[in-house]
Structure 1
Amino acid sequence: MLTQKTLKDVFYCPEESEFYSRCIKELVLKQCNKSEIIVEFGAGDGIPAIKSLLETKFKGKIYGFELNDSAYEVAESNVRKHELDSKYIVKNQSFFSSQIPNAEYLISNPPYLPAIDNNIYQPLLHGGIDGSEIARKLLSLSYENVLLMVSSYSNPQSLIEYAKSNGYSTGNFIISPLKFGYYSCEPKVKSTILEMQEQGLAFYSENIYLLAGVLFTRNQVAVDLSSELIQIMTSL
């Protein structure tokens, strides 16, 4: 049974996790033609990566990094349960201060809740004042390919333009409408989102926002989809 304590300890949103898993599968794992290494910032309970591994023939390894002790324990249990110990290695360490394996891909559903500080239900879900701070940090690490979940209420246009300024093109993306949930409806977060909407930095309609799985790449692409992505993400 889910309780407020459970939701406070480990991120729980089945719809968002399912969408993240779909993005990993379609935008990354199905495109890997060799035994590549993938690193993941924020493994959470591990379910998105596990589900995508079970549904593809990916022959490489995913190294997930999860700072939340409770989430790490759940992820480890889920990995063992699905007998994926050799393909999905989850570490209870900070991604930014750990020895990270060389990898072709960095994947993440990064914290994107905007708020003035991290004094919220789950402090590790805080994405900075406009929600895009962690995503920007990940895009500054010079990985060739970066899969990020990008929220329409977390200053998406500025984030996409920041990616371009760092040499990335939008190679592909998938978008899904989601309802505001337990974490985004916290008054402190929701009031920040409202202020951002008034400033033209957040885009949503009633109780719906858009979440995009975006593959940012430094590799040459036939068409850079950045403009199309911005148009969709700012349309609500």
Structure 2
Amino acid sequence: KTRKMFKVSAAVILALCGSTMAFAPSSQMARCSALNMDNVDDTTPRVLGEEAMPVIEESIPVAPPPLPSMSQSMPFMERPAALTGALAGDVGFDPLGFAKSESDLMNYREAEVKHARLAMLAAAGWPLSEVFDRKIATALNLAPAVDANDRAPSLLNGGLGKVSPLYWVACLGLAAAVDFYGIQKSKENNPDYFPGNLGFDPFGVYPKDKDGQEWMQLAEIK
């Protein structure tokens, strides 16, 4: 009986060993698979199912807002067709209809800018001449152009005869040269050109941003 029990025990042990060996390859395969997955480069693209296509977002063009039908400066009148608001200070004011086309508008704006710049030079030059003329003339041993009360020569103050004719020739020549240069610039068909843009800014006072540029253009004609 004891021998029989021993045989049964040996058979059970062998069966258990066989079962254990049967599962050993699977464990190794699982371990190898885990190692292989760890070695996969993270930079390798992983595609699940169909290949992923890049999404291209198309920007939908936005139409500019429609122009107002009535003048901004005179709401009871229609806006002139040539006054589109593209120029600084354009509020649709042309009650007599001078600017019938864009070309007319640009010519009038050129004249407006030129007169505004001359007015600014005169407004600064008149008081400065009365303050510094006598001092500069004395330093150069010249006769001052201002009168005894330091008033600048003018039609009202008199004294225009003291001004050398060469001065008037130089002023007219310089003004003609600047005007000719501006006319040539306006004919270059440069898309960045606008009335008065001569490209002359030695001190860099013209702003770089669009809002600052529009403010400067508006201040120049006011």
TM-score range, shorter chain: under 0.3
Larger strand fraction of residues: 1
TM-score calculated relative to the size of structure 1: 0.24
Larger helix fraction of residues: 2
Largest Rg, 1 or 2:
2
TM-score calculated relative to the size of structure 2: 0.25
